Structure 1
Amino acid sequence: MEATQQGADVFFVLMGAILVFAMHAGFAFLEVGTVRHKNQVNALVKIIVDFAISTLAYFFVGYSVAYGVDFLVSAAVLDGSAEGSPFAKQGFDLVKFFFLLTFAAAIPAIISGGIAERAKFWSQAMATAVIVGLIYPFYEGIVWGGNFGLQDWLSESYGAAFNDFAGSIVVHAVGGWIALGAVVLLGQRKGRYTSDGRVVGVPPSSIPWLALGSWLLCVGWFGFNVMSAQSVEGVSGLVAMNSLLAMVGGILVALIVGKNDPGFIHNGALAGLVAVCAGSNVMHPIGSLLVGGAAGAIFVIFFNLCQNRWRIDDVLGVWPLHGLCGLWGGIACGIFGQEALGGLGGVAFMSQLIGSLAGAAYALAGGFAVYGALKLLVGIRLTPEEEAQGADLSIHKIGANPESEMAPR
């Protein structure tokens, strides 16, 4: 029975890892559909290469930073079959690594959408290695690994530790606030704003690709949230229901506030899911519906403010979507997770507020530090000529539809 239970947990977490891995296709196609046609190949290549770099950075450095575990031992020790092995039997710790890796690799995938159409390819690759190897796992270890005693202090001071069940802060807010630093340092896309103050619209290249990206992310998100339990015994249908209701709330509010714009609607679903991650294990479904709905409004309002008033050229709106909706979700867990509002309790508002704000501030500082150093040392932006030509031809020497772009014979 013990072996069967362990095998079930291995399979459960593996399926979660595969679902979250599939979300990276969602990140890719969301970006492909949003950027101009001349930058579609670059979007696809960035996401898959960033995942490969993230894997190595997290395997050799990041996982050890977060949890004090390394994999430089024999395979018999790794799969738990060796006598006295600190690793769980049947390779459970290995699929757990895979699962958590897919979370870590989401950070550069999030950033990619904000810096699209004008970022240097190899500079971003270097940023990915540093962020996934050091910046992200440091905060991950504080929240999920219990490092440096912050969780103990919050528990002693306010009666409950910081609850971030599936990463509204650890993953999404951290990714979104790092991206803000990168976007600000990169500057606006060529021709996005005119010298006389006009905003030049840049329409999406493909609404179907954008929608496909959103759908892939929505489906995978149920692995992201539900399987954060990391065991069959700990799985809860409440997490699934809360995720569903928050997604629906985000869609419907974005539909109304965004005036039926398909980009806002499909991103509204993601806004709701970002916000519910933190408290999906403790909130009532109606509370999740409200949290997701508020996130849908936050995304639409702040996307428009960024693009039109503040002139922060965040191409996919990753700071409003992941940074602000993630921050809202972390704080909202301390409100709607309370028993008085139908939640399971066991959360404290002050712990949620401190943990959420600390994550956002740390990530913003990390974003400016990493991309500021790269800007100084190697540069982070394409030349005006390369940007005008498009990242596809400038970097990869091929467009999205090579045959149709060839001169007729």
Structure 2
Amino acid sequence: MRSPILAAMAAVATSSLLVAQVANDECSGAVVVVDGANGPFSNVGATNSAPAFTCGAGGNDVWFVYRATCTGSLAVNTCGSGFDTVLRAFDATCTPCGSFTTAMACNDDSCGLQSAITLSGVTMGNTYYFSVGGFAGGTGAFGLNITCTGGGGGGPPDDECSGPTPISLGVNGTFTNVGYTTSSPSWPCGAGGNDRWFAFRPTCTAPHTFYTCSPNTDYDTTIEIFSGNCGCGITSLGCNDDSCGLQSSITATLTLGNVYLVRVGGFASNTGNFDLTVDVGTGTGTITAMGVGACGGITIATTGNPNINGNLTTNLGGIGAGIPVIAYGFLPQNLVFCATCALGHDWSIVIPGASFALTIPCDPTLIGANLFTQGAEIGGTGCGLFPLSMTDTEQIVIG
């Protein structure tokens, strides 16, 4: 009877040892770090990673990964830590984790027994790995401090793809391409030129639409979107000259977590001012009044962005002493029950109140789907034994 018990105890002990292994012992498990103070961390229990340290006989190292927030210089240090550290950095822009052979920089002692390195020429959006070990394999607790400082001088940083301006969902700008030059590669549409570069990171995997269509855009634009890293080779995902008059629009399916480059130029190198708007989805979502079901004088208005990941708000007007409700459904109907009052859809979801806001999920399978909405006032004025007023029915086609 003792053998099975001992075996079980051994299994538990072995399992505990496995759990205790250091998660970021190799670069494949690197911990994400950001600008500012990170930690505290520890290299206790870590092993030596390849390639070997070229300074301080470093060993027992642990790994961290950082995405640059600026184009310029990057300062990294372990100053103030509790043991003799060794620090090195690797550029993952063109070399994936696990294939590193040469460190960008390596330092043993810079601030007492702790380490500091400064990397020049880092590029916003590019990925860098840091490995922290101990002098002669020493171990202990440490912090990792990071400062990214944008470079100055010369032309605008976003004149080339190495210094793109970050953009986000919604309207970005107003920008100008006056004073910008024409970048490589050559434009495949609209004889584009005098381009300005932007970087965008999607928050979900779905089609995204980029466009310059705006009253603030005052010239003939061109737009192109790329995947890949500047400096390692970028791939055009599409190019557009004229989509909305003389302005431009392009849609491409983007993947969560990747960074994409967008450049905006001018037809035949025209220059001027422009807004750059980013929508999730096709950008073709619509909200339409169907003219079905209204009675009693109350109104409905749904406004916002009818595309995936878009925000919509439905408001009822003309509500009196009754109880307002808003209903959403998925199937159109025209079920008349008194006078002109009719159910315009299947009323799958009923929400009390005269206003409701919702966010369409960021799910590309919803593109082209229909959502219907209708409002009612119960117990005020209107038709029926129990007074009821109904609004028109709206059809929302998701883009």
Q: Same fold (TM over 0.5)?
A: no
Larger Rg belongs to: 2
Give the alignment's TM-score, normalised by structure 2.
0.23
Structure with greater contact order relative to length (CA < 8 Å, sep ≥ 6): 1
Give the alignment's TM-score, normalised by structure 1.
0.22
Query: Which has the larger share of helix?
Result: 1
Query: Which has the larger share of strand?
Result: 2
